[in-house]
Chains A and B, each alone.
Chain A
Amino acid sequence: MTRRSRFQRKLKEFSDPHLGRRMVRAVAQKAESGGRPLRFMEVCGTHTMAFSRSGLRDLLSGRIDLVSGPGCPVCVTDTADIDAAITLADLEDTVLCTYGDMMRVPGSRTSLAEKQAQGAQIRVVYSAADAVQAAASEPSRRVVFLAVGFETTAPGIALAVRRAAEKDLDNFYVYSVQKVLPPALRALLSDPEVKLDGLMLPGHVATIVGREALDFVAGEFDMPAVVAGFEPVDMLHGLDVLVDMALAGEAAVENAYPRAVRERGNRAARGVMRQYFAPQAALWRGLGKIPESGLTLQEDYHLWDASALLPADEAVQGGDPPPGCSCGEVLRGKMLPPECPLFASGCRPEDPVGPCMVSSEGACAAYYRYHREEY
């Protein structure tokens, strides 16, 4: 048997339905012994979707209530940043390259998809490297990459800037609205209205930053937390660890995803991230402006920074959320998607009001797809 097929067989065990069903019963029973529903937040959008798609959210509800957090990069992107990206797409001889799930996110006036329909040069790409490729093959145009994402994607984008620098591409730009998670977790946990019994932390982000970097969740906020993977058995194992801590009144940050996450994460990835990006204050939908929570290009690489292309009077201010949109509340776990008055009536994936309904990792999209009462 080849190494790869062994690995694939091993991986399959993490979605084994028999093991999964046994774990569901065990975790639910244990949670029930607490006498009241435990309220956990899954911070990461991938977990949000996986909990809904696997049916775990419904199966555990009443014993473990799962609420979504600010870990969907599309969802936390501020309206003002979308507007700025749209302005960039409007510049002459400019192509804006973006990941697919940003296309339909509404800005304050329009969306990238709408702009594209009107003829603006906007392309969906799968990685920053595709945008560098476009810049290399179309030297007469500016190619701007709209960089959205957390620590998971930042190293890849840093490598794209490195490639552009090596190729001396003066028509490639990055518009960075990238974010780092720890400052947002601090902001969230400092909010006295946010009441939780534990946090499930994203395995992808932790793979880069390391488990240690998240210790503050327990240390500063006395909040039990677990780093978990994304297969059903991974998530159930994470929940099991969280239930134990919550019931015992203990707070620690445990690693339930050791096949990917190390204590100190991935040093090489963090190194390249630091070389190309510096922390700066960033706007988060729902959480406002958080110091040191965004990533901007380092001074040495400012030639590739697309913010310089924005008209001077277009300084990015915090944008008002669309009227009636509750994404800000949903992203802090203060509201469940169906509690929003617009849910499935004024706001749907094909005609969204807020980003949580558009993103394939958004909480509203997950509820719209898998938990609606009526269709």
Chain B
Amino acid sequence: MPQLDGTDEIRLVHGDGGRATARLIKEVFLPHLRDESLQLADDAAAFEFAGAAQMAVTTDTFVVSPLEFPGGDIGDLAVCGTVNDLSVNGARPRWLTAGFILEEGLEIARLSSVVNSLADRAAECGVSIVAADTKVVQRGNGGGIYINTTGVGQVLVEADLGYHRVRPGDAVVVTGYVGDHGLAVLSHREGLEFSTPVVSDTAPVWPAAGRLLKEFGGRVRFMRDPTRGGLASILAEIADSASVDLLVEEEKIPVRHEVQGAADMLGLDPLYMACEGQMVLVICSEAAGEAVEALSELTSAPAVIGQVQAGTGLLKMRTPLGGTKRLGLLSGDPLPRIC
């Protein structure tokens, strides 16, 4: 019987977005699904019809618990998550489809409120929801609401993005505070209260992505939204996939005081906690300063956090004390500690 990570059944670890998920995809999915765009393992696939504009398509499924959290709900997330995957691939989000799996017993008022925020977010992002589907499953078989959204967008002509464009000397930029969403959801789910509440950063990144591409074109080499696995996992992925080293200054990474404090208490690392409204980008170093300036009108705390070096695929982080540590992909969902 085929085994993955010591078990012949699917375990939660296979959904953590880290090493176990990567193995699941590589060993179970890719051998059967051989389309070239899937093999590329990007967040969205580009395609074109004869003569028409270059398009991008992506799909994502949302199973967040709790359904509502400070700063958003599963409806917000289902729009932002998918339009953000299009955005970081250089595509202006245009159309969405939405599939709902509802669990028997779900209050209609809750559903209505989620659909309402989904519609509001879609309007904010300028996307039309052009097809939708609903299924109901027996009580106990679902977490209230699961939503799948598929998004289609139009790739900007200015966009020329990909791991292959990342080169030594480029700068690494993050658009704002990291870890907010992961900590907001975790603390709300577990009923933890902090004196300064942490709010999810769920938001569309297209305003920032679109502006950068228009202003800087091909000098923007790569963009990604650090969701599951957090900033550190995405950086490790860039280093690995582009076969370069990334040298990142820990001090320059924007982390809110209250997020760092709560994470310290729980023994968690904000660098591995999800963001839902941020981007990491690799940009030609000469343009980095201007890009940060442009971003500062749109995002919470844009900063150049590091640079790309020739190397073998390592993520190296310089600590405030001047030490260097190497970081990898998230390995297993982070679990809060004892003391």
Contacts and interface: CB of A to CB of B under 8 A. Distances in A.
B319 A55 contact: yes
Interface stretch (A33-41, A209-217, A343-351): A343-351
A149 B64 CA distance: 31
A152 B319 CA distance: 29
Given A46-B339, A99-B336, A375-B315, 16 more contacts: A24-B321, A58-B325, A74-B337, A101-B335, A103-B335, A124-B336, A149-B338, A350-B13, A351-B5, A360-B334, A361-B338, A369-B327, A370-B327, A375-B236, A375-B314, A375-B329
Contacts of A74: 337-338
A53 B192 CA distance: 25
Interface string B233-268: 000100010000000000100000100000000011
A53 B186 CA distance: 22
Interface residues of B, number: 43
Interface stretch (A14-22, A254-262, A286-294): A14-22
27 contacts: A20-B321, A49-B267, A52-B325, A53-B269, A54-B323, A55-B322, A56-B323, A58-B325, A59-B323, A100-B337, A101-B336, A101-B337, A103-B335, A104-B335, A113-B12, A114-B7, A117-B11, A153-B338, A348-B331, A349-B332, A351-B6, A351-B13, A359-B337, A368-B331, A369-B327, A370-B326, A371-B325
Contacts of A152: 339
A40 to B, nearest CB: 17
Nearest to A8: B257
B337 A99 contact: yes
Contacts of B5: 350-351
Nearest to A51: B323
B314 A232 contact: no
Interface in A45-79: 46, 49, 52-59, 73-74
Contacts of B6: 351
A62 to B, nearest CB: 13
A126 interface: yes
Interface in B294-339: 313-315, 318-329, 331-332, 334-339
Contact of A126 (B190, B313, B332, B334): B190
Given A350-B19, A372-B328, A58 B337 contact: no
Nearest to B23: A350
A148 interface: yes
Given A21-B321, A54-B321, A351-B5, A372 B326 contact: yes
A153 B338 CA distance: 8
